[in-house]
Chain A
Amino acid sequence: MEDLFSICREHRSLASGEYEAQFHAMKTLLTAVLTLALAAPAIAQTRPDQVAFRGLYKELVETNTTLSVGDCTIAANRMAARLKAAGFGDADLTVYIPAEQPKRGGLVAKLPGTDPKAKAILLLAHIDVVEAKREDWSRDPFTLIEEGGYFYARGSSDDKAQASIYTDALIRLKTAGTKLRRTVKLALTCGEETPGDFDGAEWLAKNHKDWIDAEFALNEGGGGSRYPDGRPKSLGMQAGEKVFQDFRLEATNPGGHSSVPRPDNAIYQLSAALLKVGAYEFPVQFTDTTRLFFTARGKIEGGETEAAINRLLANPADMAANAVASRDPRLHSMLRTTCVATLLQGGHADNALPQRATANVNCRMFPGDPVAGVQAQLVKAIGDAGVTVTAVPPLSPTPPPPPLTPLVYGTAVDLAKKMFPGVPMLPTMSTGATDGRFLTSAGIPTYGVPGSMGDPDGNGVHGLNERTRVDGLYQQRDYLFELIKLYANSK
């Protein structure tokens, strides 16, 4: 999930999950002073608490939770059993099972805080994984294999690392009897990787918001990145994401025999519309998050790009500055809503005039842009009433991005300075989608927390031989454990 480059390389991932894209890939970030100690190879000594964590992580990873043959409910029950063994009572544990899909269950847990008036915080992770074929992998994807400083398995990174860290954190807090001011809630959900199928986070937000209600939620989608040699490069705090929405363009025509072409033709009409969609640029927009991101990015790039970004920050309508800043497709997409034709279909026989031609236009809407607004812009750009533009269900919620508050962001930055000295933190907006959109739109601002710093090769997330660094995982666990405590004790 860390790196869009890998997502693009791994073809299968395009058809499966949908939450990947991170824009903290700061390739040229060389200015920071880095602490080499953090990047040193894993030391064979493992602390007792890490051994316990490893057992939980192994059990979760080795429970197949793919849609095809796996079972999230088993995984949820196993995590519930561990929480129960740690002292959680039945009142604080809920394994929910959707009626229609008994294998797509999940778990909600609660560790009550000392101040009943303080709002809770929510730890959110998904426990389902992308499909993995044994014959395509070098190792069994559902056996946790430690090799050369890496944990290999499907889900070893996405998202069972974070799911394990959160569950382990609750267990440690409970067994240690740690008193925290706020209630800490945990939601392990199923269905993040399967758009169009049951999604536990969406279901909870709609049906049992009280179970998960919180001042804010910590989710995947943040993380960080490493240099090719493994040194930490940057940490990321994801605040907001672009919204996935498909639109269907359609032109129809009476058709006829192809030996006698008529002046109007559904395929040509659609083609003209697609040219206009391709030529249309949505206006430049910024959120608080992307302002911070672009400011930092400008400094890293320097020169012409920095100047252009600064002009664009001052005036989003500056076309010349936009032209420079948008040269990089990643920045281009982060600056605006984008819509691109992805599927094309037309006609019914080689020797008949087409009666219908359709295209799927996949939009990544800027946070807060309403579906109807994007649709209206497409209709206007096309300028042909004969080409219909329809939003394809499911209609995604379009919440504005959650604010980067001093509590959420400042706390994470301060802790990172201590635990990852010299590694810069960047606020990011995902161009892809996570489950955070369901919670944020339900009034629970959801952030992708820093900590999981991915390799430049993408760690095989959604692809073959998914892996995560052993030392990195333990450091991520330590960081998040401290961060959770800080958040839970905050005013």
Chain B
Amino acid sequence: MRIIGAALAALLAVSTQAQTLRPDQAAFRGLYQELVETNTTLSVGSCTIAAAQIGARLKAAGYGDGDITYFQGPDHPKEGGIVAILKGSEPKAKAILLLAHIDVVEANRADWTRDPFKLVEEGGYFYARGASDDKAQAAIWADTMIRLKAAKPLRRTVKMALTCGEETTYAFNGAQYLANNMRDLIDAEFALNEGGGGTLDDSGKPVRLEWQIGEKATQNYTLEVTNPGGHSSRPVHPNAIAQLAAALVKVDAHEFPVQFNAVTRAQFAGIAKAAGGAQGAAITALLANPEDKAANAIVSQDSTLHSTLRTTCVATLLNGGHANNALPQRATANINCRIFPGEPVETVRATLASVIGDPAVSVTAVPPIRPTPGSPPLSDKLTGPAAKLAAKYFPGVPVLPAMSTGATDGIFLFAKGIPTYGVPGIYEDADFGHIHGLNERIRTKSVYEGRDYLFDLVKVYADAP
């Protein structure tokens, strides 16, 4: 999920009102609850069960066997997913794809205040692991597919892919699997994914809506130094740990250059406008001249903006030696890079090697080596209807484009030619609802309003020429 550090002023207050559920909302809530209460962690959960539950609901809504495809990777029986297809009336029109992941980050009951796998509604919030990330969106997409089935046929085909493995780095990734192995099944003009949404202020007022357009790519690199070692009573030069430490200090000192693309230009322009003052002026100067060091120093004080401006690489893991009384034979570090869209993995590796400047320190990209596509294009065909609907549902709230510094599954689809966007619509609190952390939560109002907004948005896209 994306993080924006700059505070933006709320332009309009939206009145809060007690939720009395409509019949369609009550039906949705049942689906959402079932999905949330199905544990889909890697350790003990099963995405396959969750996919089957969704499939059963789709069939009950009238989908035939031919419209539903279950998939799972070999040797990953619990990490399955589902693809559903609602055919459009115009066979030549390209499809749109609704993408969400149904796996969740681990949650330890002992650490949580409430059972993380029970949907608890309390004080205007839904509490549960996955209540926000990403089962709110997954439930909204499945509910949308069910409601559209009963509605008047749309021009374009609407596809839905619910996948497993977004939250894990080294396990099975369903979105990647579909993109690489079942590309035709999920083919679409574009895909709508998580990563966008909206931000509320502390009082729950909408501050902004966001389009996530493009993301930085995650890539790990290993730094490694080896040495014949020896007895620690007789230290020798060089020493593997000392060599690694010197390399890490150099990596720390290196700053990748400032870059902009169309998305981040628009994003920073929006931030500058909202922020004003010294920060606003510095952003404007940096947009004019990315090499403006003084401006960079000001803008980069904000860690999130710093990361949005460039590729970042940071040491995250360290390991070395084998005994307290032996000179180390090996020392390694993991460098976690977030690569600016479009920059090749090898270029970043070569930069690290050159910065370190010590042939004794090897720099290797660690599998999985992820694609690093550029950003999908900003298109009025997408942003126009979204803004128009936003004006209806959330009047006065600006809709801003943003590049995420974290990774989503969108990168796999875009690498295979399906531009993937994080849609606006589902608001998060300023603290991001503790996603990935303890006591994950989302405002009930955000879920229901987001659902209404997204349902209409999907219909508009699907009926577009």
User: Residues 208-244 of chain A: 1 if any B CB is under 8 Å from the residue's CB, otherwise 0?
Assistant: 0000000000000000000000000000000000101
| CB closest chain-B residue, reference A348 | B317
Which of B87-95, B154-162, B322-330, B388-396 forms contacts with chain A? Answer: B322-330
Q: How distant is the Cα of A260 from the Cα of B338 in the complex, in angstroms?
A: 9
The answer to whether A21 and B323 touch (CB under 8 A), given A257-B406, A271-B248, is no
A68 within 8 A of B: no
Task: Give B6 Cβ to nearest chain A Cβ, in Å.
Answer: 13
A333 within 8 A of B: yes
Which of A76-84, A291-299, A351-359, A477-485 forms contacts with chain B? Answer: A351-359
Q: Is the CB of B249 within 8 A of A351?
A: no
Secondary structure call for the B interface: mixed
| CB closest chain-B residue, reference A347 | B317
Q: Is the CB of B239 within 8 A of A341?
A: yes
Q: Is the CB of A258 within 8 A of B314?
A: yes
| CB closest chain-A residue, reference B215 | A259
A342 within 8 A of B: yes
Of A7, A257, A263, A357, most buried by chain B (CB within 10 Å of CB) is A257
Question: Which residue in B231, B316, B321 is a CB contact (below 8 Å) of A353?
Answer: B316
Task: Give A363 Cβ to nearest chain B Cβ, in Å.
Answer: 9
Could you say which residues of chain A place their CB within 8 Å of the CB of B326? 14-15, 342
User: Residues 253-297 of chain B: 1 if any A CB is under 8 Å from the residue's CB, otherwise 0?
Assistant: 000000000000000000000000000000000000000000000
Question: Which residue in B234, B249, B320, B406 is a CB contact (below 8 Å) of A4?
Answer: B234
Could you say which residues of chain B place their CB within 8 Å of the CB of A432? 231, 233
Task: Give B404 Cβ to nearest chain A Cβ, in Å.
Answer: 8
User: Residues 328-351 of chain B: 1 if any A CB is under 8 Å from the residue's CB, otherwise 0?
Assistant: 100101101010000000000000
A407 within 8 A of B: no
A119 within 8 A of B: no
Q: Is the CB of A342 within 8 A of B325?
A: yes
Could you say which residues of chain B place their CB within 8 Å of the CB of A263? 303
Q: Is the CB of A259 within 8 A of B245?
A: no
The answer to whether A343 and B321 touch (CB under 8 A), given A20-B231, A260-B307, A338-B235, is yes
Q: Is the CB of B336 within 8 A of A341?
A: no
Q: Is the CB of A275 within 8 A of B246?
A: yes
Question: How many chain A residues touch B (Cβ–Cβ < 8 Å)?
Answer: 55
Q: How distant is the Cα of A270 from the Cα of B328 in the complex, in angstroms?
A: 16
Q: How distant is the Cα of A346 from the Cα of B333 in the complex, in angstroms?
A: 9
A278 within 8 A of B: yes
A201 within 8 A of B: no
Could you say which residues of chain B place their CB within 8 Å of the CB of A338? 233-235
Question: How many chain B residues touch A (Cβ–Cβ < 8 Å)?
Answer: 52
Q: Is the CB of A268 within 8 A of B315?
A: yes
| CB closest chain-B residue, reference A274 | B245
User: Residues 73-104 of chain A: 1 if any B CB is under 8 Å from the residue's CB, otherwise 0?
Assistant: 00000000000000000000000000000000
Q: Is the CB of B316 within 8 A of A352?
A: yes
Question: Which residue in B229, B249, B312 is a CB contact (below 8 Å) of A268?
Answer: B249
Question: Which residue in A7, A246, A333, A344 is a CB contact (below 8 Å) of B319?
Answer: A344
| CB closest chain-A residue, reference B230 | A8
Q: Is the CB of B316 within 8 A of A347?
A: yes
Task: Give B78 Cβ to nearest chain A Cβ, in Å.
Answer: 22
A302 within 8 A of B: no
| CB closest chain-B residue, reference A262 | B303
Question: Which residue in B234, B239, B316, B324 is a CB contact (below 8 Å) of A278?
Answer: B239
The answer to whether A14 and B325 touch (CB under 8 A), given A342-B232, A354-B315, A354-B318, is yes
The answer to whether A258 and B316 touch (CB under 8 A), given A267-B248, A274-B242, A340-B327, is yes
Task: Give A98 Cβ to nearest chain B Cβ, in Å.
Answer: 24
**Considering the complex, which residues of chain A in the window 267-282 have a beta carbon less than 8 Å from any beta carbon of chain B?**
267-268, 270-272, 274-275, 278
The answer to whether A344 and B252 touch (CB under 8 A), given A14-B325, A261-B312, A362-B232, is no
Q: Is the CB of B325 within 8 A of A18?
A: yes
A265 within 8 A of B: yes
Q: Is the CB of B236 within 8 A of A344?
A: no
Q: Is the CB of A329 within 8 A of B319?
A: no
B405 within 8 A of A: yes
Question: Which residue in A4, A270, A362 is a CB contact (below 8 Å) of B325?
Answer: A362
Q: Is the CB of A271 within 8 A of B249?
A: yes
B191 within 8 A of A: no
Q: How distant is the Cα of A329 from the Cα of B169 in the complex, in angstroms?
A: 44
| CB closest chain-B residue, reference A352 | B316
User: Residues 249-261 of chain A: 1 if any B CB is under 8 Å from the residue's CB, otherwise 0?
Assistant: 0000000011111
A350 within 8 A of B: yes
Q: How distant is the Cα of A21 from the Cα of B325 in the complex, in angstroms?
A: 12
Could you say which residues of chain A place their CB within 8 Å of the CB of B251? 268
Q: How distant is the Cα of A272 from the Cα of B323 in the complex, in angstroms?
A: 22
**Considering the complex, which residues of chain B in the window 388-431 have a beta carbon less than 8 Å from any beta carbon of chain A?**
405-407
Q: Is the CB of B234 within 8 A of A267?
A: no
The answer to whether A265 and B252 touch (CB under 8 A), given A8-B231, A342-B323, is yes
Q: How distant is the Cα of A344 from the Cα of B236 in the complex, in angstroms?
A: 17
| CB closest chain-A residue, reference B314 | A261
A345 within 8 A of B: yes
Could you say which residues of chain A place their CB within 8 Å of the CB of B236? 329
Task: Give A264 Cβ to nearest chain B Cβ, in Å.
Answer: 10
**Considering the complex, which residues of chain B in the window 324-381 have a beta carbon less than 8 Å from any beta carbon of chain A?**
324-328, 331, 333-334, 336, 338, 366
Of A14, A271, A351, most buried by chain B (CB within 10 Å of CB) is A271
Could you say which residues of chain A place their CB within 8 Å of the CB of B245? 270-272, 274-275, 278, 341
- Besides the contacts A14-B323, A329-B234, A359-B241, what 15 more A-B pairs have beta carbons closer than 8 Å? A15-B322, A21-B233, A257-B406, A259-B312, A268-B251, A268-B252, A275-B242, A333-B235, A340-B232, A341-B239, A341-B328, A342-B321, A343-B321, A343-B322, A350-B220
